[in-house]
Each structure stands twice: as C-alpha cells, then as structure tokens.
Structure 1
C-alpha cells in the first residue's frame, strides 16, 4: 500500500488532489449532518445570522475556494502551502456544492425536489475527481519498467475507448450512465448500445423517421423510470435528507 501510494500519489504530485477530495467529501458529509440536525431541532447547532440576514454556508465556501485556489496556483505541488491550499479548496468546494441548487435557481430550494441537484452534483464531482486521482498513468512517475509502460498504455487505451462510448451514451440522454461509465468499464458500452431516451439529441436526429424506434424508446424510458425512480429517490434521501412537502414547506427559512 505504501509503495502504491508513493508511486501513484506522492511522486506524481497528486497528494494535494487527494487532500482536496478527502476534505471535499468530509465537509459535505459533516455539513449535511449538521443541517439535518438543525432541521430536526436537535443538537447545539443553529442558523448563522448577521443583522437578521441568514448567511448560507455557500458564502464561506466561496471565500475558502478563493483563498485555496489562489494559494494553490502560487505554490508548487509539494510542500505545506500546497497541502493547506488543497484542504481549504476542498472544504470550500464541499460547502459551495452542497448548496449548488440554491446558486443554480437563485432561490432557497435546499429542502425541495430541486435541491436534490446538489446531491447529484456532489456525487458526480467526487466520482470524477476520484477517477483522476486513481488514474494509472500519472504524470511525473519515473523509472517505469517495460511491463508497467505496457500496462499503463493498455489502461489509457481502454479509458479512451470507454470515454467515446460515454459520449455516445450522453448523446442518447443517459447522463448518469455516461458519467459513471467513464469510471466503471462496460457501463458506458451498455448505455451506448441501448435505445436513446426520448427527447435526446440522438433520438431527435436518428429516430425522426423511425416511428417504431420512437415508440420503443418511450416504452423503455417509462419502464426504466418506473423501476428505478423509487430506489434513486431513497438513495438521495439517505444522503441529503428527504425534501419537504411543497404544500407544507414554510415560505421563509429552510431549516
């Protein structure tokens, strides 16, 4: 483990990225726990206010991202400054993306259906950064054997082909399949081979004169959504908390 960590993380200068990812995920988890405790009226936590103004945690998140970002570009990949900047940036990114839906909609939608977008963005971001971090062709690794070069070349080729399949899946309207297909082999291939979702660029262009294909695509999308909508919602509720009922949600104050 120590040899792998040194060869694939420390030597190519990826330790700041590892620290940023760990800080990002940990900050999101802690923030969600605290916010859910505030929502339930438990614990010593409460909303932060200044002069009657509710300060959302996206505000300190932006400040930390600015400090960490400028600190990172002004330092090398090695040393305490780079590591500290990475941690600050990861914490800031966790706070900002936890309220991504608020920034997107410019409205307090944290505990609504629209607020689920924050959880989706955090999961996708962590997955993509993990892909970069765990890449088997890190820049900066020296003294590779011929076998290691061959193995890494094969991995690069596999990832490149898989990425092309992911682009096809994305054009078919299968966003989650495309994203996770870049990480997990064969998922993107399955998404690329299956029928496109109705309304996707692929369906609009290639199913325009194929009514049978359009009908099959609508039927498959209906069955897929009916099967997976429930488990997907329960997974998101487990991570980010269940949204409020729109009929009972208070007009002001999200927690």
Structure 2
C-alpha cells in the first residue's frame, strides 16, 4: 500500500513536533514545516521530511506544496497547527502586530488549504485538521486579537467543511483548552511588552499571572494530549467536526455557548481579578 502523505505546520516544537512524530509512527510520509529548519533537525533524523516555510509568504507556501506533490504524488492530510498568541489591550496593540497575527493564524491557514485542495479534490478524498482553541468560544482580557483570530478559524472551518463535503474532503477542528507549552510564557511576555507604560499596565498583571500559571495548572494538559487527539482525528474513518481537548474544555465551550453573556463576563472577571 502507498503511504499516506501529511503536511504539519508549526512542526518545530510542542504540539506540531509531537504530531509529526506520531503520524510518522503510524506510517505517514510526514512533512513538518516551520520558519527555521534548525529546530527541525531532530525530526529529520527520525525520518520526517522537514522544510522551511514562511506562512506569511505565498511563494514559500506554494513551493512547499509543489515539492510535496512532486515527491509523493499525493497529499492526504494537512494539519494547520502553526499559530501564535500576541497579547495586549485592543487599544494599544499596533494594528501591524494584529495583522501579523492574522497573517499566520488565519490567512496562512487558509492559503495552505487553498493550495492542497486541488490535489485532494482530484482524487476525491483528503482531510484538513485546523488546530483552533477554546479561545474561539470564550474571551479574556488582553487577548482580543488572538481570540479574534481563533473565532475566525472556527467560522472559516465551518464554512470550508460545508463546501468540501461534496468532494469527499473532511474538515476537522481540534480545540484545546490550556496546554503546557512554551506558548504560555511567550504570550505572557508579549502582554508585558504591549502593556508597559500604558493605562492597562496594572490591570494586565492578573492576565499575565494567569497565562504564566498555565504550565502548572491542574486544568492544563501536556502537548502530547493534543497531538494524540490530532492523530485520532486523522485516523478516524468518520471524523467528528470538532474535538475539544483537555480537562473541562468541552464544559467551558458549553458554558460559553449557553450561559448569559453577563454571567460569563462575571466568571471571567473573577478568574482575572478584573472589573
């Protein structure tokens, strides 16, 4: 049998690296991509194909997809895992920084889908797994642009799923809650930098503490739990549209959907000590 072929973005560490390793162990020909290949050396040694890709540059993404198809003759799975969280008050974050976040989290994700879809549609099958977040349902202070990007991923994926169903192509959302990765410290630092010297500096400290505590929180899960679910979604014969991941993630999503907004705001205020 011909090995299925997968592309995993954001493959240099954490969830992406683990997903690439697990898919490779399941028999996939895996292409793990990131902006810098030096952080992909370990994957290359284990037999995973690695490639430098900038998700803000169309030529870089196009070259990747052309290479994969030329080498393998097929693309069965795209895992859109790359993304980052730049935090700060909506008022004070420069729009250039907000656009940069959308370029990776939304437009890079969408462009990768556009590029692989002709190959999937040609053979009448394929799967796209978009790594979203419970941030696509809830809100927290000073996370406006990150949350907006994940809300966009949710809506985009739902529309894409409906459009691609007639072609035999599945679109799946994986929605982690808090995860123990380097992402938390990076987001906390970006919040500190964006808030320094602004009217929000003092209030933002509670959100910084919450972000930094995620790596030790009982509510958070290791990155391996998320990669396990991504691989489960890749292998399911009849995948669900959504896979919440983590302790109480599904419950948090349900509360956000069905509780009155004022009640959700009050609970969030208690969590972040804000009013």
Asked if Structure 1 and Structure 2 have the same fold, meaning a TM-score greater than 0.5 normalized by the shorter chain, the answer is: no
Larger radius of gyration: 1
Between Structure 1 and Structure 2, which shows a larger proportion of helix residues?
Answer: 1
Between Structure 1 and Structure 2, which shows a larger proportion of strand residues?
Answer: 2
| TM-score, normalising length: structure 2 | 0.25
